[in-house]
Structure 1
């Protein structure tokens, strides 16, 4: 028997997220994303399938050049229109009991003091089921939406995220002592002021006095996801992340990535098992190979190659025209997401990949097809390559997940590749067996750092004014 994999549903509060064109299918319902009932129904379906989390992607700008046309984006419904997942999570938290609720928020879009407060509120509402996907944004338009002239250089965005997390950790882990909340009606003290602390953070970008306004939530710090595949992204994940969403094109590529990342985790002073890896996979399942082929052909009929190319952002010129498909990727400036290009290069070691390769890779990557037993075999191969979980990418809502529950899950459970019941407790407890960050995580260093033992804080964690 294998060890059970973890499973997330990879979603976005929009009509066209990953598999572009599929919203046009008569049975697709992702175009109903404004209707909260679609998401509540889906959440209940996912809990029936024992999914670990609903993982919501998000963007705060348009794909493409800063001054470019966005006609294609709008025609495709490609992440415009889209809604804020944080607001949706409040509704899903009260409509569910076990499933984790993960959402994306980039460091540009919300001041860390306000963001930390929102997360703590959601963690209270959900009784400890919130996760945060840490991103630094890849869209020039997003930077302009928040008052910046341009997107900060790739690696410098991670430096920004380091400080952002530093502020958040201080608020979540250090501002309130564990026994600060009293709710003492007879003694007329709601909390103990001596155990609630200002953080007085002063850094390169932020100056935050504190204290954190919410009392400690069940997890304090949400479960931390991250999705960067570049060298700088991997080092950032090794320091901060508890789970990483990756997209190598095959198990061999995943093996290289997970081995390198786990070595980085150890160098960062943590344990290999402190970081889980989730591979993005789309399923095509059938009782026979003929049925699988027929389903694949139907998906191809609704596939929008233009949508995939627009999503990649590379090769799109401001006037809406595009570079030739044989343009090599090294000849295209890229200050956006570099991990996908790096994974594509690893998959084509004999030559430099082109725009055509990038589009083909986006359409075909991570597709696992076959009869249920064959799908189980392929997932076993991914697991052997170092994968701990799967981000299940949908073709259509809600059909992809209904079909997973009915046709794939029973075989995975029989093989020991999927759990048969939820563990109780918080999201972090379900995945790691603990509610709080472990002591070897940098966020844990701020526990008690602003009270009587403040001088015990290691020098590397002390910023000016702390």
Structure 2
């Protein structure tokens, strides 16, 4: 039986995310990111295509490294303007029955006590379909505007995140017993006080002495995702993640990351196969290869070189405007997203990775390959990536929303279903059940969250 390809749709509540400048394409509806109907339509398209979840990225500060200004980011709508990714989930959940929602929230700028309630609320309202993409945030602009003089160093952000996870696990898993809510009208008791416990956390970064403010949700702990590929990020993913998002351009590079993180998980006492890996991919599909490549060339006409440089300047903490656009970029050790810097300088030794070459390379595809062709060609390439990369699925980008999602669902998914790679019907209700099978709504026994349960 063919291994199922797990699919997530990738969006951010903004105009320019992975594809920069393509909002100018006449078919693009990216400017409608602030409309509820836009998100409901997106969710329905993905559910029709058998996607596990919609993954919503986020950023907490403007991109202001390029030329020391936000001007380039504003001109191309790159992550600014952007809306809060949590607030539309309830509406999308009400318009669908099975699609999950993985939302990005930073441990650096949230308080775990309030955040745990937000996610429990969404898990209640979605019927157990919520996931959390755990990030530590890499933008200096976010630090400045959220109460810090400067951002915490890279590894220290992960140390804060470790304590953050300890607190939310205590709140989600350990504060309320399974049968604490009795709802006994005769005795007048809704919650049995003896079965609700203070978490009594007194740590270096957080103090949470009291009980969780919410009753347990279906999954208790949301499905946990992580996307960091630095050494600290890999260690964090191996300990906490159930799903891992990868940004890479070759399946052998993906395989190296997958094997490393799975081995770290094994050494930490987890089943390495319990971690599911998703590589970002942009798929341009049409009835024939020729039509698909013509469509890609059409999209490339709208890609913004300056906008791409502005985005990657912020991600890498290097102002690429100050460099000659045709001079090779050497590796620089920054507190930004180190894996992305290393990616371009080691991706292909035969390529001169200049700022201009990077901008042209990422113009349409963002952080992953642009797979272009007929449904057969696309399915073959996704299968190759799955097998050679030891992957579980893909984070499918939507550079011309919602056209590219709709094309994928209408053209590529039928071929993948014919091959037994994408399911026709959802087998279960909760997001975690799509990972581990019907009936598995709670974290697995070998996951660190499970250590905080009351038995």
TM-score (norm 2): 0.94
Secondary structure of the 2:132 match is strand
Which residue pairs with 2:35 in the alignment? 35
Unmatched 5+ residue regions in structure 2? none
> How far, CA to CA, are the matches of 1:195 and 1:352 in structure 2?
63
Q: Greater CA deviation, 34-43 or 168-177?
A: 34-43
Q: Greater CA deviation, 114-123 or 349-358?
A: 349-358
> How far, CA to CA, are the matches of 1:345 and 1:189 in structure 2?
63
Q: Cα RMSD over matched residues? A: 1.9
> How far, CA to CA, are the matches of 1:343 and 1:317 in structure 2?
15
Which residue pairs with 1:347 in the alignment? 347
> How far, CA to CA, are the matches of 1:413 and 1:331 in structure 2?
42
Secondary structure of the 1:255 match is helix
| Residue 383 of structure 2 corresponds to residue 377 of structure 1 | no
CA shift for structure 1 position 361: 4.0
CA 1:356–1:66 in 2, change beyond 3 Å: closer, same or farther?
Answer: closer
Structure 1 runs of 4+ off > 6 angstroms?
315-318
TM-score (norm 1): 0.92
CA shift for structure 1 position 257: 1.3
CA shift for structure 1 position 356: 3.7
Secondary structure of the 1:85 match is coil
Q: Greater CA deviation, 325-334 or 424-433?
A: 325-334
Which residue pairs with 1:403 in the alignment? 407
Unmatched 5+ residue regions in structure 1? 454-466
Measured against aligned partners, the alpha-carbon deviations of 1:70-113 in whole angstroms (never above 9, x if no partner) come to 10011011111110011111222222210001110111332110
CA contact (8 A) 1:4 1:417 kept: yes
CA 1:144–1:3 in 2, change beyond 3 Å: closer, same or farther?
Answer: same
> How far, CA to CA, are the matches of 2:349 and 2:317 in structure 1?
25
CA shift for structure 1 position 404: 1.0
Q: Greater CA deviation, 72-81 or 42-51?
A: 42-51
Q: How many residues align?
A: 448
- Mapping of 1:12-23 within 5 angstroms? 12-23=12-23
Secondary structure of the 1:390 match is strand
CA contact (8 A) 1:244 1:276 kept: yes
CA shift for structure 1 position 329: 4.0
CA contact (8 A) 1:107 1:136 kept: yes
CA shift for structure 1 position 348: 2.5
Measured against aligned partners, the alpha-carbon deviations of 1:171-191 in whole angstroms (never above 9, x if no partner) come to 000011111111111111101
Which residue pairs with 2:191 in the alignment? 191
> How far, CA to CA, are the matches of 2:434 and 2:332 in structure 1?
43
Q: Greater CA deviation, 358-367 or 436-445?
A: 358-367
Which residue pairs with 1:435 in the alignment? 441
- Mapping of 1:37-436 within 5 angstroms? 37-65=37-65, 68-313=68-313, 321-330=321-330, 332=332, 334-349=334-349, 353-363=353-363, 365-384=368-387, 385-433=389-437, 434-436=440-442
> How far, CA to CA, are the matches of 1:42 and 1:395 in structure 2?
13
CA shift for structure 1 position 274: 1.3
Secondary structure of the 1:254 match is helix
Q: Greater CA deviation, 90-99 or 273-282?
A: 90-99
> How far, CA to CA, are the matches of 1:67 and 1:446 in structure 2?
48
CA contact (8 A) 2:29 2:402 kept: yes
CA contact (8 A) 2:330 2:345 kept: no
CA contact (8 A) 2:163 2:203 kept: yes
CA contact (8 A) 1:310 1:316 kept: no
Q: 2:453 aligns with which of 447, 450, 455?
A: 447
